[in-house]
Homo-oligomer: A and B are copies of this chain.
Amino acid sequence: MELFSYWRSSAAYRVRIGLNLKQLPYRITPVHLLRDGGQQHSEGYAALNPQELVPTLRHDGQVLHQSMAILDYLDEVFPLPALLPDDAAGRARVRALAQLLACDIHPLNNLRVMQFFSDTWSVPQPERDDWTRHWMQVGFEAMERMLVESVDTGRFCHGDSPGLADCCLVPQLYNARRFNVDMGPYPTLARIDAACLALPAFDAARPEHQPDAA
């Protein structure tokens, strides 16, 4: 397997965690999102991924896009350890938590959005950072409440094994630290993040442990 990845991309980070949890061997091909005007926009990469976003996973002749679709694919093709629970209600809960992060926070704070703000609207850095923190705080507040109110929350987002929601949470909390978001109001998120990062699968996926880390 070949993962087209950028060390700081949250979406690539999610897939690295999933691959590591399943102990699947993979090779990283770095795509530098800031170098050469953005290597994701190169002709070669755009032919592989028309959205010109990371990650892309090559496996068994398939070219796979979108981190969440890739994680579902991995869970179907390599079922153990499972990233989703067995029951439909549990699966729906884990997916909703994951999508709160992957649909309602991350796309708003992505590099291309920041580039639009600076290049097209000339939004100053402090206001761009306020925007970034705002969507994290709105999302974290809801997620903290959803975790606290559910008996299904365990050592991890769902029970005592790491899964899909944890694959999304840890990269998002890495971003939260970069932007100095006060995690005080979200003790459950912080606790689960710490439990995840203590595991080798999560540790090896950290941005700073990537071959292309600055």
Contacts and interface: CB of A to CB of B under 8 A. Distances in A.
Interface of A: 50-53, 62, 64-66, 68-70, 72-73, 76-77, 88-89, 91-92, 95-96, 98-100, 102-104, 106-108, 113, 116, 121, 123, 127, 131, 134, 139, 141-143, 145-146, 149
20 contacts: A50-B141, A50-B142, A50-B143, A50-B149, A51-B104, A52-B142, A66-B96, A68-B99, A68-B103, A69-B96, A72-B91, A73-B88, A73-B91, A73-B95, A77-B88, A102-B103, A103-B103, A103-B106, A107-B107, A108-B113
Given A88-B76, A146-B50, A95 B69 contact: yes
A4 to B, nearest CB: 14
A69 B92 contact: yes
The interface residues of chain A, by DSSP majority, are classed as helix
A103 B69 CA distance: 11
Contacts of A106: 103
A69 B68 CA distance: 11
A51 B142 contact: yes
A117 to B, nearest CB: 10
A6 B177 CA distance: 35
A42 to B, nearest CB: 15
* Most B-side CB within 10 Å, residue of A52, A66, A92: A92
A92 B73 contact: yes
A74 to B, nearest CB: 9
A197 B145 CA distance: 38
Contacts of A50: 141-143, 145-146, 149
Contacts of A77: 88
Given A73-B88, A73-B91, A65 B108 contact: no
Given A53-B104, A77-B88, A103-B107, 12 more contacts: A50-B141, A50-B143, A50-B146, A68-B99, A68-B103, A69-B98, A72-B92, A73-B89, A102-B103, A103-B103, A103-B106, A107-B107
